[in-house]
Amino acid sequence: MDSTNLTRTQTKELLEAQAHIWSHNYSFQNSTALRCAVQLGIPDAIQKHGKPITLTELSNALAIHPTKFSSLYRLMRLLVQSNFFEKKLENGESVFDLTINSKLLVKNHPFSLAPFVLNTMIDPSLHFSSWLRNNAESPFHIAHGKSIWEHACWSSKFNEYFNEAMASDARIVSTVLVNSEEAKGIFQGIESIVDVGGGNGTTARAIVEAYPGMKCTVLDLPHVVEGLQASKHNIVYEGGDMFKAIPRAQVVLLKVSLYSMAL
């Protein structure tokens, strides 16, 4: 393509292609900004404030360095655009408030997804091209020298973050699962179920509370279920490997187990 002699259509296509590439290349800033907000505790600060908060009040609450005040404003502007916060005028002053999305990032919210955001798998994604060119098990294996499950066994901190993230997701999934009309039809008449990769049993507890006569087995790796005790007589925790054996049950529940195998 001769850059000195482009038609109007070619010029338009060139700009659109550039914008498309830029959009994908910098889209990571959306997730990193979200993670930053949770790390700083922005949703918690607004919740604790009890009403829409000014940027100055927010900066003070978060102990932001004075030289970073304008950067905090740009961060909030991006998060407002992403509908995590609402910006409005009160008494002639700009204030920020929570939206339904950021309410789920308040750490004491019953359905908080803050642990899930903090558990973002950034490092493995940077090794995807290397993974495609060798026989490593996964991008995570290249980034950390071991599988995600081995790393969880090795690092108690990572294991805690990972389990909290899975539990936070399970709280929402299980609530929807037992309250939806579709699910009620699915579970009708079922006497036993095994939750594969069921973590600390968040989903299992919700199911047996909704269906007291159902027996639920939680299958996960030994280090995950170690020390867990069933709060109800019809929940059983079993350590094992889903690729070797799955406990017998009428229904097998898989949520994100297959996806996790690719990490």
CATH of the domain at 187: 3.40.50.150
Residue 194 lies in a domain: yes
b/e map 160-186, b = 16+ CB within 10 Å: ebbbbbbbbbbbbbbbebbeeeeeeee
List of residues 6+ apart from 231 with CB closer than 8 A: 205
Is 45 within 8 Å of 35 (Cβ atoms)? no
pLDDT at position 105 is 96
pLDDT digits over 197-252, tens only? 888 888 888 888 888 889 999 999 888 888 777 666 789 999 998 889 999 999 99
SS3 237: strand
Q: What is the pTM of this model?
A: 0.75
Query: What is the spatial distance between Cα 138 and Cα 262, in angstroms, rounded to a whole number?
Result: 6
Max CA separation in the chain (angstroms)? 77
Helix (H) or strand (E) run with residue 250 in it: none
Domain stops at, among 47, 81, 109: 109
pLDDT digits over 24-75, tens only? 999 989 999 999 999 999 999 999 999 999 999 999 999 999 999 999 999 9
pLDDT at position 218 is 92
CATH of the domain at 60: 1.10.10.10
b/e map 190-210, b = 16+ CB within 10 Å: eeebbbbbbbbbbbbbbbbeb
Query: What is the spatial distance between Cα 53 and Cα 27, in angstroms, rounded to a whole number?
Result: 27
Residue 258 has pLDDT above 70, yes or no: no
Residue-range definition of the domain harbouring residue 81: 28-109
pLDDT confidence band for 182 (50 / 70 / 90): confident
pLDDT at position 25 is 93
Residue 253 lies in a domain: yes
Residue 7 lies in a domain: no
Is 96 within 8 Å of 55 (Cβ atoms)? yes
Same-domain pairing of 166 and 251:
yes
Is 87 within 8 Å of 95 (Cβ atoms)? yes
Residue 249 lies in a domain: yes
Q: How many domains does the chain have?
A: 2
Residue 147 lies in a domain: no
